[in-house]
Amino acid sequence: MRALTWQGVHDVRVETVPDPEIVNPRDAILRVTSTAICGSDLHLYDGVIPMVKPGDVLGHEFMGEVVDTGPGSTLKKGQRVVVPFTISCGNCFFCEKELYSACDNSNPADKQDMSEMLYGYAVSGLFGYSHLTGGYPGGQAEYVRVPFSDVGPVVIPDGLEDDKVLFLSDILPTGWMAAENAAIEPGDVVAVWGCGPVGLFAIQSARLMGAETVIGIDHHPHRLELASQLGAETIDFRQTDVREALREMTGGIGPDAVIDAVGMEAHGLAADNLIDRIKQGVGVGADRGHALRQAIMAVRKGGRVSVPGVYGGFMDTFPLGALMEKGIEVRTGQTHVQRYTYDLLRRIGEGEIDTTFLISHHLPLEEAAEGYRNFKTKQDEWTKVVLRPH
Amino acid sequence: MSVDQEPRDLPGADQPNGRGKTAALAALALGIGGYVAAAVALSRRRESARASMHDSAPGRTARRARFGGYSVVGRTVTIRKPRQELYDYWRDFANLPRFMESVKEVAVEGDLTRWTIAAPAGRTVSVETRIVEDRPGELIAWRSTEGSDIDTEGRVHFKDARGGRGTEVEAIIAYKPPAGELGRLIATLFQSEPALQGRRELKRLKMLMETGEIATSRNHRERTEGDTP
Ligand SMILES: NC(=O)c1ccc[n+]([C@@H]2O[C@H](COP(=O)([O-])OP(=O)(O)OC[C@H]3O[C@@H](n4cnc5c(N)ncnc54)[C@H](O)[C@@H]3O)[C@@H](O)[C@H]2O)c1
Ligand SMILES: [Zn+2]
Ligand SMILES: [Zn+2]
């Protein structure tokens, strides 16, 4: 089959690789009909996530048609399903608590060592996202093997086309959990760093959860425009002093909750970020945390910090004092996708949530490399790329 | 494998803080129980006389612990299954190669078990063990016989986990490779990262018991060397 493979920093290629087959009883094989490129994929593309190997198939946002099932799968051939990017067994202590991205049993035993060393305990397996999270071949391919297919995949009713439901695989639940982690109360002001796909869905979710004002922060005019179309106020961090602006826009109190939807590759020329950039450049496992630092400084006393943005290593000059002295609550994590999929599918079906506004480009799988390049370098117009492998 | 054989190598003989000495004393006090017994004893919460031990952590987690030239590795994993079920699975030694990757074959004859273990360079190592303690639903302990390539003893302990979380499975293995070329081979096999090996095996057991399968990122049924195809 054809599949998008990682070859090195800023080098991804569509190549021919062997078709996947059923390996474990609970597996299913999908013929992929739609698969998206994610901001998280850019961290791999830029080489800031360790343990990616040349030839690894990327892609964790995908859906398709079931073409084969193991004896333990509950899926049936011909069904259309969307697959959560978190691989979860559904049986362990963590899955039972709906902490799906903490599943104990989906990250292969020999892949858990590194994760344990870095984080204390191994995190779950993820599709197409380095050997730290299992080394599972991803879904930017014609076919994909889906482990624990009786737990994750969501069967899509006829009549809902791919573009409406594809983002149930990751960014829609991620935006939703980001807003949920902000513990929004009526009357709240919520500030969101980053108006990429995750930030925009977080804005949409925060509005649905009753935030009175949502403020989106970015520097791309078109992305800020999309944020305001979702009902957010906006701040362009290139033109405006973000902290000053947030203080003034909230009557001097500060936002009640802040959401970091930027992650480890924050843009900007602030001093802290430049130092981080050098460290990240020489590969010392440093995360570029400008957005997170700013968010922690900006949030009101006793406020909430929600971090959907991905970090993988360590960060210097972390404003620990502000965190402690202001009594801030932090909630974060890879999304527990399976916790949200059915509720969000219902909201999509009822027309409460639309996700199609985000898609700027459809490309055949063969042009995936171009999709990566543009999603990275022309972020403003290239808001979301959906690949069609067939 | 009694403490007397190697008094100079007693655990923590080089440790100034007294914790290691306590381990040594415990090992001595336990005498014939051997090093695993000492390690297990140390893994219990501090009971009485060992007043100079400052914490209740398992002895094997001491920063430096040597048990008379034996390496001791141990690991605990919590599995969401009743302990009788886990005990039964483990007690049927023919099941063990399913989750112990280096164990190629297990042959049981009475209370003797012969293990064929893969070693580097396509070699295999043979170990014969005898069950020295067997408490259904609770504990299995074994020790190697004279004819084994490796001098080893071990035990696996099944305890109800707190909060109804299933069973804590604690496996402890002490081993000492022989001298010579075979010894070096075995040393590379086990001493490179024995703790790593042990914890991977327990994790595979957990996967098998909780999910019915062992997670893999391989996309093909036939076993290939190395990673994802
Ligand atoms: N927690 C999860 O499970 C999960 C899931 C998906 C994505 N993510 C992460 O969420 C983050 C965002 O994903 P995305 O797909 O929206 O990515 P993206 O790269 O498309 O968007 C990031 C946006 O942040 C903006 N930005 C950069 N620096 C900024 C700064 N200093 N202040 C304000 N805005 C800034 C960029 O201009 C860009 O528009 C990534 O880190 C991604 O890995 C997490
Ligand atoms: Zn994603
Ligand atoms: Zn699980």
Contacts of A375 (CB under 8 A, 6+ apart): A37, A42, A382, A384, A385
Using a 10 angstrom Cβ sphere, with 0-12 exposed, 13-18 middle and 19 or more buried, the burial of residue A342 is exposed
Using one digit for the tens of pLDDT, what is the confidence trace for A134-183?
999 999 999 999 999 999 999 999 999 999 999 999 999 999 999 999 99
- Asked if B217's CB is within 8 angstroms of A53's CB, the reply is no
CATH number reported for the structural domain that contains residue B114 in this entry = 3.30.530.20
pLDDT band for position B51 (50/70/90)?
Answer: very low
Answer yes or no: do B220 and A104 touch at CB < 8 A: no
Question: Looking at chain A, which runs of residues are DSSP E strands?
Answer: 2-8, 11-16, 28-37, 61-69, 80-83, 86-87, 125-126, 143-146, 154-155, 189-193, 213-218, 233-236, 257-260, 304-307, 329-332, 361-364, 385-388
Average pLDDT over residues B187-197: 63
Mean pLDDT of B70-76: 82
Number of domains chain A contains: 2
Of B146, B135, B154, nearest to B34 by C-alpha is: B154
* A245 pLDDT more than 90: yes
Instruction: Encode pLDDT of A314-342 as tens digits.
Output: 888 899 999 999 999 999 999 999 999 99
The answer to whether residues A271 and A351 belong to one domain is no
pLDDT band at B215 (very low <50, low <70, confident <90, very high): very high
Place of tokens 């990682």: A6
Q: Which of B78, B206, B213 sits opposite A24 (nearest CB)?
A: B213
For residue A310, CA distances in Å to A39, A165, A283, B53 come to 9, 23, 17, 42
- Bridge-partner residues for A233, per DSSP? A215
In tens, the pLDDT along B138-156 reads 999 999 998 888 888 999 9
From the CA of A385, which ligand is nearest?
A: 1
Does residue A350 share a domain with residue A283?
no
Nearest residue by C-alpha to atom 26 in ligand 1 = A194
> Same domain, yes or no, for A159 and A146?
yes
According to the model, what pLDDT value does residue B9 have? Answer: 35
Same domain, residue pair A352 and A247: no
**What mean pLDDT do residues A290-303 have?**
97
In a domain, B128, yes or no: yes
pLDDT at B189 over 70: no
Find the mean pLDDT for residues A302-310: 97
A172-199: average pLDDT: 97
User: Which residue range is the domain that position A219 belongs to?
Assistant: 172-332
The percent of residues above 70 in pLDDT, for chain B, comes to: 63
What is the number of the ligand 1 atom nearest to the C-alpha of A223?
A: 39
Measured between alpha carbons, how far is B39 from B25 in angstroms, rounded to an integer? 12
- Domain identity same for A300 and A343: no
Closest-lying ligand 1 atom to the alpha carbon of residue A307: 1
Same domain, A105 and A148: yes
Atom 25 of ligand 1, nearest CA residue: A194
Predicted pLDDT of residue B66: 57
Within this chain, do residues A138 and A234 fall inside the same structural domain, yes or no?
no
Total tally of structural domains belonging to chain B:
1
Report the share of chain A in percent with pLDDT over 70: 99
* CATH number of the CATH domain containing A135: 3.90.180.10
Same domain, A98 and A160: yes
Residue ranges making up the domain that contains B184? 3-211
Final residue belonging to a domain, choices A314, A332, A350: A332
| β-strand pairing of A213-218 with A304-307 | unpaired
By three-state DSSP, how is residue B62 classified? coil
Our CA-based measurement puts residue B187 at a distance from the nearest CA of chain A, in whole angstroms, of 20
Per-residue model confidence (pLDDT) at position A77 = 98
Contacts of B212 in chain A (CB under 8 A): 25-26, 72
ipTM: 0.93
* Helix, strand, coil shares, percent, chain B, to 5: 35, 30, 35
Give the count of Cβ contacts less than 8 A between chain A and B. Answer: 89
Query: According to the model, what pLDDT value does residue B86 have?
Result: 98
Residues A65 and A192 grouped into a single domain: no
Do A13 and A158 lie in one domain? The reply is: yes
Q: Is residue B106 included in any domain, yes or no?
A: yes
Predicted local distance difference test score (pLDDT) of residue A177: 98
pLDDT at B108 over 80: yes
Whether residue A124 is found in the same domain as residue A192:
no
Residue pointed to by tokens 């922060």:
A217
Q: Which pLDDT belongs to residue B47?
A: 37
In 3-state terms, what secondary structure has residue A171? helix
Alpha carbon of A90 to ligand 1 centroid (Å): 29
Q: At B110, is the pLDDT very low, low, confident or very high (cuts 50, 70, 90)?
A: confident
What is the distance between the terminal CA atoms of chain B, rounded to a whole angstrom? 45
Q: Is the same domain home to A41 and A89?
A: yes
pLDDT at position B111 over 70: yes
pTM for this structure? Answer: 0.88
CATH of residue A246? 3.40.50.720
The closest residue, in CA terms, to atom 7 on ligand 1 is A40
Domain presence at residue B227: no
